[in-house]
Chains A and B, each alone.
Chain A
Amino acid sequence: MKQSNEAFWWSLFSAGGVAAALFLPAIVVLTGFVLPFAEGDTATRHEQLRELIGWWPVRVLLMLVISLSFFHCAHRMRHLLMDFGVRSTPLLLAVVFYAGAITGTVATVVVISRL
Chain B
Amino acid sequence: MSASNGAAAQTTEESLEARMADKTITLEVFRYDPAAGGDPTFQRYDVPYRSDWVVLDALNWIKDTTDGSLTFRWSCRMGVCGSCGMMVNGLPKLTCSTFLKDYYPDPLRIEPLANFPVQRDLVIEFDGFVEKLKSIKPWLIRNDQRDPADGELRQTPKQLAQYKQYTMCINCMLCYSACPEYAFIPGFIGPAAIALAQRYNLDSRDQGQAERRKLLGVQEAVWECTFVGECSAVCPKHVDPAAAIQQAKVTSTIDWYKRFLMPWGKK
Contacts and interface: CB of A to CB of B under 8 A. Distances in A.
Main SS of chain B's interface residues? helix
A1 B217 CA distance: 9
Q: Which secondary structure dominates chain A's binding surface?
A: helix
A1 B253 contact: no
A7 B223 contact: yes
Interface string A85-97: 1010000000000
Contacts, number: 48
Interface residues of B, number: 19
B256 A8 contact: yes
A39 interface: no
**What band does the interface of chain A fall in when counting residues whose beta carbon is under 8 Å from B?**
10 to 19
Contacts of B214: 1, 3
A114 interface: no
Interface string A1-40: 1111111101100000000000000000000000000000
Nearest to A11: B253
Interface in A51-87: 79-80, 82-83, 85, 87
B217 A85 contact: no
B256 A5 contact: yes
Interface string B148-188: 00000000000000000000000000000000110010000
Given A1-B214, A3-B217, A4-B217, A83 B259 contact: no
Contacts of B257: 7, 11
Given A3-B259, A5-B256, A83-B228, A10 B249 contact: yes
B228 A1 contact: no
Given A7-B253, A11-B253, A1 B218 contact: yes
Nearest to A79: B226
A4 B249 contact: no
B66 interface: no
Given A11-B257, A83-B180, A85-B184, A4 B219 contact: yes
